[in-house]
Structure 1
Amino acid sequence: MISIVTKWWHVEGKREEAVAALKDLVELVRNGEPDTYMYCLHTAVVDGSLPPPTPNELIFLGAWKDRAAFDAHRDGKLFQDWLARHLHLFVRNGGKLYVSAEFADRFSGFVRGEAIGGC
């Protein structure tokens, strides 16, 4: 399994529209990508965060069967079609979605059932 923490930033004034589009993406991935084990999106909480995030930051926590499954998600028709429809809602660099991403190889931990209901 491979996990990733990714940050995106929505365009100023587009928060509600960006969050709605991302909720749709979650359902598409849930129903269409069985090798995506976890796909949880969060808005940043500025209060108490160090360093404080920008108010337009969005945080993904994801897990896939393996790197090939992640690559299939990122490069696949489902995500690419969604991105083509919604890219205008997010910060871009050189015309492409601007993201920060950090892959992680989990060596320990757990997820309580209560957390699953929130994703």
Structure 2
Amino acid sequence: MLPIIARWSIAKGHRAEALRALDELVALVEENEPFVPMYTVNVPNMSPELTSFPTPSEHEVVFLSVFDDAAAFKRHMDGVFKQWLDANKQHFLLNNGNLFVVSEWLERHAGFIRQAMVTTGSEASS
């Protein structure tokens, strides 16, 4: 298994469209890419009861995903993701016409995932 964290930014004025597009992306990956065992899209929780350091931008998007292996990641990038990005990149921060991404490949050292964390797209939004 190959985990990755990737950070994007939503373009100013595009938050609603970007979030709808990201919901669509998650559904496409879940439906069409069985070689992606985990694909989560997260946005900062801006609740006044919680404090993040440093304070994140409300435009930030954080992916925490797991791919079967490097070949699975390449299939994702060349398949569902490429088609989706071609139709939706205007909603995100670009650099020279390309999606601006900060990413980090991870190697799981220890830990667990409880069954309660396994959700469908509709459960995750609530």
* TM-score, normalisation: structure 2: 0.88
Q: Please tell me whether residue 51 in structure 1 is matched to residue 54 in structure 2.
A: yes
Distance 1:71 1:107 in 2: 24
Structure 2 residue aligned with 1:35 = 35
Higher strand share: 1
CA distance in structure 2 between the aligned counterparts of 1:82 and 1:19, rounded to whole angstroms: 13
1:54: Cα distance to partner?
1.0
CA distance in 1, matches of 2:55, 2:74: 30
Query: Which aligned runs of 4 or more in structure 1 are off by greater than 4 angstroms?
Result: none
Residue aligned with 1:6, SS:
strand
| RMSD of Structure 2 on Structure 1 (CA) | 1.2
1:29 partner SS? helix
**Alpha-carbon distance in 2 for matches of 1:38, 1:10:** 22
Matched, 1:12 2:18: no
Distance 1:4 1:73 in 2: 13
Where does the alignment leave 5 or more consecutive residues of structure 2 unmatched? none
Is 1:109 matched with 2:106? no
- Structure 1 residue ranges without an equivalent (≥5): none
Number of aligned residue pairs: 118
Q: Output the TM-score relative to the length of structure 1.
A: 0.93
